[in-house]
Structure 1
Amino acid sequence: MKPSKKGKGLRIQTGDLKGKLIPSPVTQEGKSNFTPAIMKKSFFDILESLQLQGRLNFTDAAFLDLFAGSGQMGIEALSRGFAEAIFLELAWDRFESLKGVLTKIPHEHSVFRKDAFRFYTGFAEARTHKVFFIDPPYSFWEKKEAKIKAMVEDIVVQESGAALIAVQSPVALDWEGFESRPFGRNVLNVRALV
């Protein structure tokens, strides 16, 4: 998603927070990789389709935004009716920025300064379904693809309530059960488990 031209930040696309500006997070070395608006729309279209089919109930689902950065995906999920969102962000400056943004969001959420590679399960146990959005920095892919894949495989095994796993990456992933959708230099890789 591109920063808003009216103000420095990202905008929520739809739901009860539609139009809300999320400040752009602090970027490391001037690099940023926001989820493009068209990719975000496509991702939430997939989730809404699952909801229409009765396979996913937003009002009893948790959205886990791993490597949260700005938190735009988790906040968008809350805006669209998810029961709660869990945000994991390890970088101190991004975590503090996200914590500040979330104090103004009137929905159930938790934000943790934790390494998503180590702490990605065990959240929102009371929820029927969980949607995982995994968007590690693109600089991780060259050396850590195997680690990202192992984390995803463990989520499939460990999280009985996992409804869908989405991985944003710079390349299409040929991982079992994943469908890839390219959007310019970004690829949305999705595996539905319901």
Structure 2
Amino acid sequence: MTRIIAGEKRGTILQTLEGDRTRPTTDRVREALFGCIQFEIAGANVLDLFAGSGALGLEALSRGAACAVFCDRYDETVKIIKGNIAKLGYETRSQLIKNDYIHAIKVFQNTEKFDIVLIDPPYKSGYYETVLELLARENVLKHGAILVAESEEPVEAAVDGYHVYKNKRYGKTFLTFFRWDKG
């Protein structure tokens, strides 16, 4: 069971995909993640990549983010995200992109600037460095943007402009927090 932990929609149960095709972020990890960035959320533009159920972006909206863009490429997860957005009444503050992360990021090339990016791909995918490179190259981050990567191991920032300011471990899950210094 996945639920909204805090904010105006606290306690609302979210639909998730059954089975092990997605790996929803546990309540404990989500609570820790948002506790670390709590003072950055109000009024933020959020990008939730590899959204799954949309729980991360919806948590940000519940805590006061101005808007959230959800990206996932699978029909089943897009349907679930759409349903969760409607359940919470966040249709006007949400945008859902059914596409892979590469094309979703390119949609906003030089037009949209995000304050917070939540990166939660399949752990073994190896997408982390590519995502960081693409976000930088497509010019979609505000100066000082926060990026949070959920993974099995700490994520390194091999791309100029990022610096890791925190690594936290929660059981088998690592959260790596980056700050974007350009833009």
TM-score by length of 2: 0.82
User: Percent of counterpart pairs with the same letter?
Assistant: 23
Counterpart check, 1:138 vs 2:123:
yes
CA distance in 2 between partners of 1:12 and 1:150 (Å): 29
2:132 maps to 152
Unaligned runs of 5+ residues in structure 1 are 4-9
Secondary structure at the counterpart of residue 190 of structure 1? strand
Distance 1:126 1:88, change over 3 A: closer
Whose strand fraction is larger, Structure 1's or Structure 2's?
Answer: 2
Distance 1:72 1:124, change over 3 A: farther
Deviation (angstroms), 1:125: 4.5
2:49 maps to 66
Letter paired with 2:52: G
CA distance in 2 between partners of 1:124 and 1:110 (Å): 18
Root-mean-square deviation (Å): 2.3
1:38 maps to 28
CA distance in 2 between partners of 1:99 and 1:149 (Å): 28
**8 Å contact 1:180–1:190 — kept in the other structure?**
yes
CA distance in 2 between partners of 1:12 and 1:124 (Å): 32
CA distance in 1 between partners of 2:141 and 2:46 (Å): 15
CA distance in 2 between partners of 1:72 and 1:153 (Å): 25
Deviation (angstroms), 1:126: 6.0
Q: 1:104 aligns with which of 87, 109, 123?
A: 87
Count residues with an aligned counterpart. 171
Secondary structure at the counterpart of residue 42 of structure 1? helix
CA distance in 2 between partners of 1:18 and 1:170 (Å): 28
C-alpha distance after superposition, 1:4-29 (max 9, x if no partner): xxxxxx110110000000012244xx
CA distance in 1 between partners of 2:109 and 2:6 (Å): 26
**8 Å contact 2:3–2:27 — kept in the other structure?**
no
Unaligned runs of 5+ residues in structure 2 are none
Counterpart check, 1:20 vs 2:12:
yes
Counterpart check, 1:167 vs 2:149:
yes
Distance 1:46 1:193, change over 3 A: farther
Q: 1:185 aligns with which of 169, 172, 177?
A: 172
Deviation (angstroms), 1:149: 0.2
CA distance in 2 between partners of 1:124 and 1:111 (Å): 19
CA distance in 2 between partners of 1:32 and 1:42 (Å): 20
Secondary structure at the counterpart of residue 70 of structure 2? strand
TM-score by length of 1: 0.78
CA distance in 2 between partners of 1:57 and 1:188 (Å): 17
Deviation (angstroms), 1:75: 0.6
C-alpha distance after superposition, 1:50-84 (max 9, x if no partner): x3xxxx4622x211110000111011000000001
